[in-house]
Amino acid sequence: MITAEQTIDEQERFRAGDTRILARYLTRVENHAAGMEEVLADLYRHTGQAWRVGFTGPPGAGKSTLVNQATLRYRRSELSVGVVAFDPTSPFTGGALLGDRIRMEKLTLDPGVFIRSMATRGQLGGLAVAVDEACDLMDAFGKDRVLIETVGVGQSELEVAHSADTTVVVLVPQSGDSIQAMKAGLMEIADIFVLNKSDRDGADRAYRELTSIVQMKHSPEGWMPPVLKTTAEKGEGVDELLETIQTHRRHLTETGLLETRRKSRIASKVQRLVEDAIRKDLWRSDRDTRRRDDLDHTRSPYDLAKDLVNDFYREISDERR
Amino acid sequence: MITAEQTIDEQERFRAGDTRILARYLTRVENHAAGMEEVLADLYRHTGQAWRVGFTGPPGAGKSTLVNQATLRYRRSELSVGVVAFDPTSPFTGGALLGDRIRMEKLTLDPGVFIRSMATRGQLGGLAVAVDEACDLMDAFGKDRVLIETVGVGQSELEVAHSADTTVVVLVPQSGDSIQAMKAGLMEIADIFVLNKSDRDGADRAYRELTSIVQMKHSPEGWMPPVLKTTAEKGEGVDELLETIQTHRRHLTETGLLETRRKSRIASKVQRLVEDAIRKDLWRSDRDTRRRDDLDHTRSPYDLAKDLVNDFYREISDERR
């Protein structure tokens, strides 16, 4: 049980830059711990300062290396960095898969960098929420840049765009990669394309292929996603990437699109919060049991659903009477 | 406007095997057309006969070719086949990407095969629902086998398992592919692993790697997912795959797990139907506008969400009074 005083004390330490409290809050967000909504509500007014950059793309594209290199360079410019990595829970490890993170260990000794792998148990979608809240925490903590990295599979790939101000889609020169990215919906969310491992054979051809696909894209926001070449392992092209992120930031800020994008992000968050609260009321009591048990092949799930909705509405009105 | 008589006439023609009505229903399901819930409720009692096999795995693993080969073989055994392919909407084509389907053209001349690419506009999750309903339609139409194919990216990869009785995860002998699959959560949903393109270099090593990872997996259901080698392009290993699917079917049937799985699938469907219905009531009227507009940096989304929930509950009880 957390008392109100503890909460206030924790929040003061958080605001004063105590990373232990940041870590504690991140764990609570990951576990969907009770009481965190109030903390997030209180900290909300301190958010909005950090620039959030999402890195997404297929597995093996080198996203971790790129995030690592970007972090090193931001630190040289004395910008503080938070890194949030999506990691689906695996039954093998019982938590986040830390393999890719090991390479970043050196960075974790730097107090200006905070790295966190996020994993959630339970339903799809829960992870995206946790990542979004983790970004808010890093932001309220005072990080200048928050880098979000997906594992490159599952819905995380597309959802990262909801949390990011700038979305970087990382591809490699591999036959058909651009086509697959197009299929996956990555074209729609990309603000910047990176062709990583561009010292490989076929990089020029892949670059031309990708560029021609990108040029077909409509750019209603007046921003045509640039295609950059990097070789993250050698640090090549990373400076140009960071400059392009900065250019994108200026574009969003000057056109007022930033405000629109953030507003729409918050509107989605409100929607999610409302629906979560209602869902909690909805599936308490015996309705959840009925949903699971009142099933047979004569009665359709559509009819059962109708009953349950009516039952819920009746309960709500009875409670208010 | 569809009249009740038209609906009855359509349903009779559907039950009599008129593929034009099947196609029409599939389009309505894809577009979330009004009135389809009633049709699905009516047809529900005719479902439960088809065996649903999901094919998932990373892009380029050869899922389409495998589905193609499986279909040809099922047809030789005089089993009717429905194929449902997940395709995210692309702004380039405005609909499903048909590239992979072109190879299947030959099959579409066979009246015992019905192939459909599903695409949906709008929110994540909508596609999975459409695919699930498409499977129900193919099932009620009398298909013996329904094959579900994902594009191999996005949440579709994992969601396919919700609709399938047997989930086949297709991988290729590529360095780190098994590890990536593990990260992506594919290990958890696989009933059968297929190492496709196994005439490639490194196939034996990849096979050993995959087998050893699979052996670490717990099998609470008494089924250890077999790992099969195929070269779908040449049709190699496909017969063994179909036999293994049949073995898995027997396992699920004999242990009673089939009933449990299907029940849990229907329970999820009921949950989704209930939540969709409530969501529709929730975001009508001015609440949706308020969610989008009542946002500023002084008031947190958490506080706004609380207001909106209260507002909804008040409205429900007022309506019932």
Section B109-133 average pLDDT? 76
C-alpha span between A130 and A17 (Å, rounded)? 21
Cβ contacts of B48 on chain A, cutoff 8 Å? 297
Q: Is the pLDDT of residue B34 over 60?
A: yes
C-alpha span between A221 and A252 (Å, rounded)? 9
Torsion (CA) A65, A67, A69, A73 in degrees, nearest 10: 180
Stretch among A127-131, B34-38, B255-259 having the lowest mean pLDDT: A127-131
Q: What would the two tokens of residue B132 be?
A: 């699930």
Q: Could you say which of A182, A279, A295 has the minimum Cβ distance to residue B275? A: A279
CATH code, A47-255 = 3.40.50.300
Q: Could you say which of B45, B217, B295 has the minimum Cβ distance to residue A298? A: B45
Topology annotation, domain B48-257 = Rossmann fold (3.40.50)
| pLDDT of A174 | 78
Query: E strands along A240-301, which residues?
Result: none
| pLDDT of B243 | 98
Q: Could you say which of A153, A273, A300 has the minimum Cβ distance to residue B183? A: A153
**In whole angstroms, how far apart are CA A125 and each of B20, B113, B154?**
37, 35, 12
Q: Is the pLDDT of residue A95 over 50?
A: no
Average pLDDT over chain A, rounded to an integer:
84
| pLDDT of A86 | 76
pLDDT in tens, A145-169: 999 998 755 556 677 778 899 999 9
Test A273 with B153 for CB contact under 8 angstroms: no
Q: Is the pLDDT of residue A96 over 50?
A: no
| pLDDT of A30 | 86
Section B103-123 average pLDDT? 72
Test A320 with B300 for CB contact under 8 angstroms: no
Cβ contacts of B154 on chain A, cutoff 8 Å? 154-155, 157-158, 184-185
Q: Is the pLDDT of residue B276 over 80?
A: yes
| pLDDT of A265 | 87
User: Which three-class secondary structure string do you get for B114-127?
Assistant: EEEEECCCCCCCHH
Which of B14, B274, B262, B265 minimizes the C-alpha distance to B128? B265
| Res. A80 pLDDT band, cuts 50 70 90 | very high
Test B303 with A185 for CB contact under 8 angstroms: no
**In whole angstroms, how far apart are CA B269 and each of A300, A313, B89, B157?**
10, 20, 23, 18
Cβ contacts of A273 on chain B, cutoff 8 Å? 301-302, 305
Stretch among B13-17, B62-66, B172-176 having the lowest mean pLDDT: B172-176
B43, closest residue in chain A (CA to CA)? A300
Bigger pLDDT: B102 vs B184? B184
Most B-contacting residue of A42, A63, A153, A288 (CB-CB within 10 A), to test interface: A153
Cβ contacts of B295 on chain A, cutoff 8 Å? 263, 266-267, 270
Cβ contacts of B180 on chain A, cutoff 8 Å? 59-60, 151-153
Test B282 with A274 for CB contact under 8 angstroms: yes
Q: Is the pLDDT of residue B103 over 70?
A: no
Test A159 with B124 for CB contact under 8 angstroms: yes
Cβ contacts of A89 on chain B, cutoff 8 Å? 185
Token pair 């008589």 in the structure block, residue: B5
Q: What would the two tokens of residue A228 be?
A: 């950059």
Which of A73, A58, A75, A100 minimizes the C-alpha distance to A194? A58
Stretch among B184-193, B200-209, B245-254 having the lowest mean pLDDT: B184-193
CA distance B320 to chain A (A): 7
Q: Is the pLDDT of residue B23 over 70?
A: yes
| Cα dihedral across residues A107, A108, A109, A114: positive or negative | positive
Section A283-292 average pLDDT? 81
CA distance A88 to chain B (A): 6
Test B154 with A158 for CB contact under 8 angstroms: yes
The count of CB pairs under 8 A between chains A and B is: 215
Test A306 with B157 for CB contact under 8 angstroms: no
Cβ contacts of A91 on chain B, cutoff 8 Å? 187-188, 217-218
Domains of chain A, residue spans: 47-255, 283-320
How many Å is the Cα radius of gyration of chain A? 22
Is the distance from CB of A293 to CB of B258 less than 8 angstroms? no
Cβ contacts of A98 on chain B, cutoff 8 Å? none
Most confident of A65-74, A113-122, A185-194, B214-223: A65-74
SS3 B274: helix
Q: What is the ipTM of this complex?
A: 0.78
Q: Is the pLDDT of residue A105 over 70?
A: no
Which of A164, A254, A13, A270 minimizes the C-alpha distance to B293? A270
Burial bucket for residue A46 (CB in 10 Å: 0-12, 13-18, 19+): middle
Q: Which helix (H) or strand (E) holds A29?
A: helix A19-30
pTM of structure: 0.70
Is the distance from CB of B161 to CB of B54 less than 8 angstroms? yes
Residue A51, CA atoms < 13 Å, CB-side half-sphere: 17
